[in-house]
Amino acid sequence: MTAIDRQAPKGATTDEGRLDLLRRIAAAGGTIRPNAEPEAQRGYEYFALGDADEKDLSYLAQRDYLEARFFDRVSLCPKCTSHHLNVREICPGCRRAHLANEGLLHHFRCGYVGILSEFTTGKDGSRVCPKCNHKLHHLGTEYDRFGKTFVCRECGVISENPPVEAVCLACGARTPAEDLVNADVFSYVLTSLGSAAIRRGSLADNANEFFVDGAPVYRPAVILEFLHHEAKRLGRFETGFSVLLAEYSLEAVDDGEDSFLAPWLVRLRRCLREVDLLGQLADAAFVVILPRTNEHGAEALRQRIMAELGPQLPLTLSAIEITEPRHLAQVVARRGGTLETA
């Protein structure tokens, strides 16, 4: 039995079971991916869950122990939520699916445009126009082919873009494709907070921050809320600001992440003002929100911090002035999230 097959012990508390799930994900290489399974509720399941539930993955991701990464999107029946759907084009007239895809011919002489089957074939192999009865010998000079269309074999209606409909194979409901329910499926990656919970042997669900040199460093979910708030202020009052984006390479950290993070975070925090907000954006990325700071001020601070930290650290520090929502969206993209600006 591999480490990934090990299940949470019977009678474990909820937090113990979630902590054990983190351990199994760590033992599997730090990532849990969905696997295609036709009998699963949404067509995918996580073989590494053991006794845990998919809701535990969402729970851990919401608290930043795991990072959710988009994997696939599944269409579901809005009536019964089954993913067993037969999706196909249907006739806009009789709503049947008995359609044939035919090419179109254009007769230059009389201007008639029709489907290929309307142009009968003469004894010499030429096609005959159904409107003027002239023979069509030469493609490109007498007639041309362009595009394709759908012909209903039930009622004869011709349509270039027939509607698409899904029939649920579980409950029989017929639903226009645009009205199907979409559900996103994610893979999950263990974060540094998840690794710390494993080492600590417990989840600290109420901890929205940890402290460096007496000042808070906010968890990803919290710093994202601050960024969203700044984006709303920007949209409402047009008050620009700047951010510092600190990124480092996990592969370049020789002595372990914890021993690397603590010293440079302390020195970084000491260079900041009390009003500046420092938070972890992703596993290897931190962001500093600099209220009411323009590009010149942010760049001067960046240079001062780099002089304090020293060039030997495997760290890049960027100063970015935020004057439009798209600038902040580029920063949030490091997290793999989306930005609300309304």
Give the span between the Cα atoms of 260 and 314, in whole angstroms. 10
Q: Residue 102's domain spans which residues? A: 91-162
One domain, residues 136 and 11: no
Q: For residue 202, tell me if it sits in a domain.
A: no
Q: Work out how many domains the chain is built from and give that number.
A: 3
One domain, residues 267 and 318: yes
One domain, residues 68 and 187: yes
Task: Examine the fold and report which residue of 172, 196, 220 is the final residue of a domain before the chain moves on.
Answer: 196
Residue where the block lists tokens 């323009």: 294
Strand arrangement of the beta sheet that strand 99-107 belongs to: 113-115, 99-107, 143-152, 158-159
Q: For residue 85, tell me if it sits in a domain.
A: no
Q: For residue 79, tell me if it sits in a domain.
A: no
One domain, residues 214 and 328: yes
One domain, residues 22 and 139: no
- 266 phi and psi angles, rounded to 5 deg: -60, -45
Residue 233 has a pLDDT of 82
Residue 9 has a pLDDT of 42
Q: For residue 338, tell me if it sits in a domain.
A: no
One domain, residues 49 and 190: yes
One domain, residues 129 and 228: no
Average pLDDT, the chain: 82
One domain, residues 212 and 326: yes
One domain, residues 189 and 148: no
Residue 240 has a pLDDT of 81
Q: For residue 297, tell me if it sits in a domain.
A: yes
User: In this structure, what CATH number is given to the domain that contains residue 297?
Assistant: 3.30.70.270
- Give every residue of the chain whose pLDDT is below 50, as ranges: 1-13, 337-342
Residue 115 has a pLDDT of 80
Strand 127-128 to 120-121 pairing: antiparallel
CB–CB of 171/76 below 8 Å? no
Q: What is the pTM of this model?
A: 0.59
How far CA 127 is from CA of 38, 102, 214, in Å, comes to 49, 15, 87
Residue where the block lists tokens 């100063």: 319
- The number of residues making up the chain comes to 342
Give the span between the Cα atoms of 145 and 191, in whole angstroms. 57
Give the span between the Cα atoms of 206 and 334, in whole angstroms. 25
CB–CB of 140/118 below 8 Å? no
The region that residue 276 occupies, defined by phi over 0 for left and psi between -120 and 50 for alpha, beta otherwise, is beta
> For residue 189, which of 285, 287, 64, 286 has the smallest C-alpha distance?
64
Residue 194 has a pLDDT of 87
- Cβ-based neighbours of 229, under 8 Å, separated by 6 or more: none
Residue 26 has a pLDDT of 92
CB–CB of 167/179 below 8 Å? no
The region that residue 156 occupies, defined by phi over 0 for left and psi between -120 and 50 for alpha, beta otherwise, is left
Q: For residue 84, tell me if it sits in a domain.
A: no
Give the span between the Cα atoms of 269 and 6, in whole angstroms. 41
One domain, residues 31 and 147: no
Give pairs for 111-119: CB < 8 Å, separation 24+: 115/149, 115/151, 115/158, 117/151
Gyration radius from the chain CA atoms: 30
Give the span between the Cα atoms of 192 and 103, in whole angstroms. 58
Residue 132 has a pLDDT of 86
One domain, residues 318 and 216: yes
Residue 4 has a pLDDT of 38
User: In this structure, what CATH number is given to the domain that contains residue 43?
Assistant: 1.10.10
CB–CB of 301/290 below 8 Å? yes
Q: For residue 16, tell me if it sits in a domain.
A: yes
One domain, residues 212 and 304: yes
Count of CA atoms in the C-beta half-sphere (13 A) of 75: 14
